[in-house]
Structure formats: structure tokens, C-alpha cells
Amino acid sequence: QKEVEQDPGPLSVPEGAIVSLNCTYSNSAFQYFMWYRQYSRKGPELLMYTYSSGNKEDGRFTAQVDKSSKYISLFIRDSQPSDSATYLCATIIQGAQKLVFGQGTRLTINP
Amino acid sequence: EPEVTQTPSHQVTQMGQEVILRCVPISNHLYFYWYRQILGQKVEFLVSFYNNEISEKSEIFDDQFSVERPDGSNFTLKIRSTKLEDSAMYFCASSERGPLGIDTQYFGPGTRLTVL
């Protein structure tokens, strides 16, 4: 069983739409969850991180974690063409060093 | 804003040759990492480094790989005898441990390694 699963897409939506990106994970020991954005041939850029179940909001971005179902989501409101990128979910066990990444979802926002 | 830098951006080498990939982590960070991403695949953890020693490594990080912090600013990854399957993007990351023991890792732009 893969540790973190993420639909690779591609996902294409019109500008202004609400985007929902999702991951599932298998290990209950994962406690800390991150979303990274990666533009083509660039390094992952940290967008948001959260520790507990519930929602965390930052501008147009909302991260949601449901530990009971081992489900992670990222919502993007009022999506812009500049949001076009690959979005990677990642998780880590507290005290460990190794980030475990999902496959990444390639997102395109069409003007 | 402080950032992780990596050089070179692209390295081409012949199979069997040694390569050294270089990174300058964020200056007040104490934890350093290497990850790699083979084209079309997940970002994979290779190794973490703290207090001048390896603290965790993956099964990918075999005897062909080594890491070093040769001075107060650089962090390097050496591949002794490159194989075709080492072709990938290599990302350096750094972090400072937070109060919950959780590391928020910041990544560099990557070095694209091509082994011919």
C-alpha cells in the first residue's frame, strides 16, 4: 500500500473556479501535513502546513485535514492562471526527518 | 526572503564518473536534506543531516552516495560512480526544528543531473 496517494491529474479548470486537490495517506503516525507548489523544472515551494485535523486558511488557500479518514485537501478559491502548477501533498511523522510526498496533481487554470 | 540555493542548475556526466552537487542552505537552519525526483515520479527522500552527521537515510542512499558539510555554508551530495538511473532532479532542503519537533523544510531550485 502506497504511503501517500494523490491523483496526478491533469486537472484543468477555468479562471475563477474553486479548485479541490486531495490526498489520502495510510499511516496513522503521520501527524504533520504540507502542501507544496512546484512550477515546471523548479523546486517545491511550501504553501501551507497544518498539524491537526480541521481547516487552516491563508488568503485564497484552505488546507483541510481529516485524520479519521486519513484525507488531506487543498482548496483554492478564485483560481488564477498563475496558480497553474503541480501541487504536492506531503506528510511527516513527528520527530522524523523524512517527508513523504504524493505523486503531485498537475493543475492548469485557463484564462 | 532567505532561500536555499543550488549549483549547478544542470549537470551532464558520463556513466561511472563522480559528481558533486552543491547547496547553500538557509543560514540559520540546522537540518539539511537531499531529495530526488526522477522525471514523472514522486519526490523521494534520500538523506537528512544534522550536527555533521547523517541522521536518517533511505534505501536509495547506498554506498555510492555521500554527504558533507565542508564549511559553514555549503552542503554537498557526492555520487561516486554515476549510473544511468541516477538521472533525476536533485533537491536540497533545509529546516529549523520547531517547538513540536516538526521540521518545515524549504527546498532549493534543484540540480538536473543527466547521466549519459
**A49-76 pLDDT tens trace:** 888 788 899 999 999 999 899 999 999 9
- What pLDDT sits at residue A96? 78
- What pLDDT sits at residue B71? 86
Q: Which residues, other chains included, contact A37 with Cβ-Cβ below 8 Å and sequence gap of 6+?
A: A44, A45, A47, A85, A86, A87, A88
Over residues B71-83, the mean pLDDT reads 93
Over residues A83-99, the mean pLDDT reads 89
**Chain A partners of B112 at a C-beta cutoff of 8 Å?**
41
> How sure is the predictor about B98, in pLDDT bands with cuts at 50, 70 and 90?
low
- Under an 8 A CB cutoff, do B110 and A102 touch? no
- Under an 8 A CB cutoff, do B31 and A97 touch? yes
